[in-house]
C-alpha cells in the first residue's frame, strides 16, 4: 500500500488544515456512531414487534420502530459497507434520515 497519510500541522489559529482534520474526525465519529446504533437496533425487534426498540430509543410514537431501523440501516449501508447505493438514491436516503430525525 502506498504511503498516503497526510500529516497536517495543527496550529492554534483557525486554518483550512485544522478544519479538514475536524471534518475527517467528525465523519469518522459519524460512521462509528451509525454502525453502533444500527447494530444495537437490529437486535431489539422480533417478528414485526418493535416495542423494545421504540422504548430503548425513546420514540414518542409507537409503530415507528421499523422506520427508524430502516433509516439506520440505509445510513449504515452508505457509510460503512460496500453496498452500492447510487447517487440520487443515496442523496434521497441521507435527506430522509436528516429530515426525519435532525433538529429535535
State yes or no: pLDDT of 37 exceeds 70: yes
- Confidence at 5, pLDDT banded by 50, 70, 90: confident
Residue 14: pLDDT band (50, 70, 90) is: confident
> Residues 58-102: pLDDT tens digits?
999 999 999 999 999 999 999 999 999 998 999 999 999 999 999
3-state helix, strand, coil in the chain (%, to 5): 60, 0, 40
Q: Has residue 6 been placed in a domain?
A: no
Share of residues in the chain with pLDDT > 90 (%):
75
Q: Which of 58, 79, 7 is nearest to 93 (CA)?
A: 79
62-95 residues labelled b (16+ CB within 10 A) or e (exposed): eebbeebbebbbbbbbbbeeeeebeeeeeeebee
Please count the structural domains in the chain: 1
Q: Give the range of the structural domain holding residue 27, as residue numbers without chain letter.
A: 16-101
Question: Per the domain annotation, does 8 fall within a domain?
Answer: no
1 assigned to some structural domain? no
Amino acid at each position: 500500500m502506498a504511503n498516503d497519510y497526510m500529516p497536517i500541522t495543527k496550529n492554534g489559529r483557525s486554518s483550512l488544515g485544522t478544519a479538514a482534520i475536524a471534518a475527517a474526525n467528525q465523519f469518522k465519529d459519524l460512521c462509528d456512531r451509525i454502525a453502533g446504533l444500527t447494530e444495537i437496533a437490529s437486535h431489539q425487534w422480533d417478528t414485526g414487534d418493535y416495542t423494545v426498540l421504540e422504548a430503548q430509543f425513546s420514540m414518542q410514537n409507537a409503530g415507528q420502530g421499523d422506520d427508524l431501523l430502516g433509516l439506520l440501516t440505509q445510513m449504515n449501508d452508505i457509510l460503512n459497507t460496500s453496498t452500492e447505493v447510487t447517487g440520487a438514491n443515496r442523496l434521497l436516503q441521507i435527506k430522509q434520515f436528516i429530515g426525519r430525525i435532525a433538529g429535535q
